[in-house]
Amino acid sequence: MQRISFCVTGIRRFSVTSLSSSSASYTDNRILKQVLESCKSPSNSKHVLQAHAHIFKLGYSTYPSLLASMVTAYRRCNLSHIARRLLLWFLSLSPNVSTTNLIIESLMRSGEYGLAKKVLRSKASDLNVVTWNLMIGGYVRNVQYQEALRTLRDMLKFSDVKPNKFSFASALSACARLGDLRSAKWVHSLMIDAETELNPILCTALVDVYAKCGDIETSKEVFYSVERSHVSVWNAMITGFAAHGLAKEAMRVFSEMEAERVSPDSITFLGVLTACCHCGLVEEGRELFDVMSRRFSLQPKLEHYGAMVDLLGRAGKVQEAHELIETMSVEPDLVIWRSLLSSSRTYKNHEVAETAMKSLLDSKAKSGDYVLLSNMYSSTKKWDNAEKVRELMKREGIRKGKGKSWVEFGGVIHRFKAGDRSHVESEAIYKVLEELMKKAKCQGFVAETDLVLMDVCEEEKEENLSYHSEKLALAFGVLKSSPGSEVRIQKNIRMCSDCHNWIKSVSKLLNRVIIVRDRIRFHRFEDGLCSCGDYW
C-alpha cells in the first residue's frame, strides 16, 4: 500500500505541460505503469481510476504498454466490464499491426492471454508472423501449452501467414512440456515441409523434444544428424539420456563432446551428474564434481550440490550427503533439504530426517515434506510421532498433494487421480484394471502392502494400492489401444514401487512396451523389466 501511495503522489507532480519534455514523458509513463502494476486487489480500484484519469489527461491513453497495464489492473480490481470496454475502444481505433503486436505482447506478459486472444481474433486478417509468434510464445510462457499448439494450427488454418523458426521453437517447447510425441512429430514434419534451416536453437529443441516425449532413439538420430558446434545441442542429448537413466550413453556423449573440443558448461555437468544419480554411479559422480572446478574452472552452483546430495542419498550414503550440505559454499535450498529428507526416510535415518525437516519448517515446507516425515514414523511403527505430524498438518491447514497421471489418446489428454471414477468410460476402465490385477497375480505379482502406512487389514491395503492413478491410466491405455502398441503415461510425482513392479508384470503379460514419465525420469517397461534397473 505504501508503494501505491508513493507512486500516486509522484503522479500528482506532473501535469499536461510535461508532454513537451521527452524525459518527463518517459518518467510519467514509468510512474503510471508502476501504479497500475501495484494495484492487485479491489481495494486499489480508486488508484486505478485515478491513474487512468492522469493517463487520459497526459495523452497516453493509446500507449500499448499502458493500455495493457490498465486492462490488467481493472481486471484485478474486479472491474472487468471497464477492462473490456477499454479494449473494445482501442480496437475501434483500427490500430496498425505494429501497435496491435505491442498490445498483444503486453497482455501476454501480464498473463492476460484470454484478452490477447480476443485481440488476435478481431484483427486476424491484418496480422503478421510476429503477431502469431507473440501468441504462441506467450502461451508457452503462461504454461498454456495446448493453447500454444492450437494457435499454431489456427495460424495454418485461418491465415496466409507461414510459421517461421520462432514459431517452431515455441511449438516444440510446448510439445516437450506436454510430453506430446504426436504433436512433436507433426511440428517436425512442418519444419521439413517448409525446408526450415536449422539453427542451434532449433537443433537443441528437436533433440530435447523427442527425449522429453519418451522417444530417446529418435532424439539420438536427430542429434547425430544436425550441426553440433553449440554446447546447448550436446546438453540436450546428455540431459535426455540422463532422464532415461542411460548414464553410460550420457558419459559417452560427454567424452565425444570433449573430443570435438566443445567446452562443457554448468548445464552439461548438471546433466551428467543427474545421469549418475539415476543409476547410482557414486564414484563417477564424485569424479565429475571434482573435475568441474579443477579442470574447467566451473564453480558448483546450487543445482550441482543438489544433484550430489541426491546421488549420495539414493545410494544410502545419507550421513555423507548431510555433511556435504554443511560444507556447501552456497545456502542450501528447499529442494536439497527435501532430497535429504526423502533419502533419510528410505534408509530410516531418523536423526538426519528430523534435521532436514527442521530446516524445511524454518523455510516453507510443503505438504509432501510433512507426508514424508509422517510416513517414516509410520513405517517404523512410531505411531505417536506420525500422529503428531498429521495433527500439525491439520492445524496449519496443510493438505496432502494428489498424485495424477495422464495419457493421450486421439489428440485428447485423459487425466486420472487415485480411485478416480469421474471418467466417462470409468466402468470399462475398472473392468480392464481388475482383469490385469488378476492376471498379474497369477503371474506371481505380490502387492507391496507395507507401502500403505495405515492400521488397516491386508485386504484394505491391497485395495488402496490397486487404484493408483498410473494403474488407471494404464488400464485406459490398454482399453483404447490396439494389442502390441506402446502405451505412454505421464505422472506428476514419483512412481511408487508397487506400481513399478505391477507395470513390469503387465508389460510381460501383454507383451507390450509401456513408457512412464514420472516427476524424476522415464521408465521403459518391456518383457517384465524396466530401463531403470529398479533404481530410481
Average pLDDT over residues 156-168: 94
What are the residue boundaries of the structural domains of the chain, listed by start? Answer: 407-530
Task: List beta partners, residue 414.
Answer: 407
376 has pLDDT over 50: yes
Q: How far is CA 289 from the centre of its chain?
A: 26
In 3D space, the residue among 283, 236, 244 whose CA is nearest the CA of residue 262 turns out to be: 236
- pLDDT digits 0-9 by tens, 220-269: 999 999 999 999 999 999 999 999 999 999 999 999 999 999 999 999 99
CA distance 288 to 143: 34
Task: List beta partners, residue 408.
Answer: 413
Reported as a pLDDT band with limits 50, 70 and 90, residue 365 is: low
CA distance 14 to 32: 11
Can you give the pLDDT at residue 460?
A: 53
Average pLDDT over residues 79-93: 84
9 has pLDDT over 50: no
Measured in degrees and rounded to the nearest 5, phi and psi for residue 487 equal: -120, 130
Can you give the pLDDT at residue 5?
A: 46
- pLDDT digits 0-9 by tens, 451-500: 554 444 455 555 667 889 999 999 999 999 999 999 999 999 888 888 99
DSSP 329-398: SS---HHHHHHHHHHHHHTT-HHHHHHHHHHHHHTT--HHHHHHHHHHHHHTT-HHHHHHHHHHHHHHT-
Residue 86: count other Cβ atoms within 10 Å of its Cβ: 18
Reported as a pLDDT band with limits 50, 70 and 90, residue 16 is: very low
Least confident of 16-25, 46-55, 166-175, 194-203: 16-25
Average pLDDT over residues 502-523: 94
Question: How far apart, in Å, do the first and last CA atoms of the chain sit?
Answer: 48
Reported as a pLDDT band with limits 50, 70 and 90, residue 20 is: very low
Average pLDDT over residues 383-405: 76
CA distance 363 to 388: 20
- pLDDT digits 0-9 by tens, 53-82: 888 888 887 788 788 888 888 888 888 888
- Cβ atoms of 87 and 100 within 8 Å: the answer is no
* Integer CA distances (angstroms), 275 to 113, 308, 359, in order: 37, 11, 27
Measured in degrees and rounded to the nearest 5, phi and psi for residue 409 equal: -145, 125
- pLDDT digits 0-9 by tens, 103-155: 898 889 888 898 899 888 887 667 899 999 999 999 999 999 999 999 999 99
* Integer CA distances (angstroms), 336 to 300, 305, 349, 453, 495, in order: 14, 8, 16, 25, 20
Residue 227: count other Cβ atoms within 10 Å of its Cβ: 10
179-210 per-residue burial string, b: 16 or more CB within 10 A, e: under 16: bbbebbbebbebbeeeebebeebbbbbbbbbb
- pLDDT digits 0-9 by tens, 256-310: 999 999 999 999 999 999 999 999 999 999 999 999 999 999 999 999 999 999 9
Can you give the pLDDT at residue 307?
A: 96
Using CA atoms of 484, 486, 491, 496 in order, give the dihedral in degrees to the nearest 10.
Answer: 50
3 has pLDDT over 70: no
CA distance 32 to 70: 10
Please report, rounded to a whole number, the percentage of residues in the chain having pLDDT higher than 70: 88
Mean pLDDT of the chain: 86
- Write down the residue that cell numbers 478481431 correspond to: 122
- pLDDT digits 0-9 by tens, 184-221: 999 999 999 999 999 999 999 999 999 999 999 999 99
Using CA atoms of 361, 305, 301, 339 in order, give the dihedral in degrees to the nearest 10.
Answer: -40
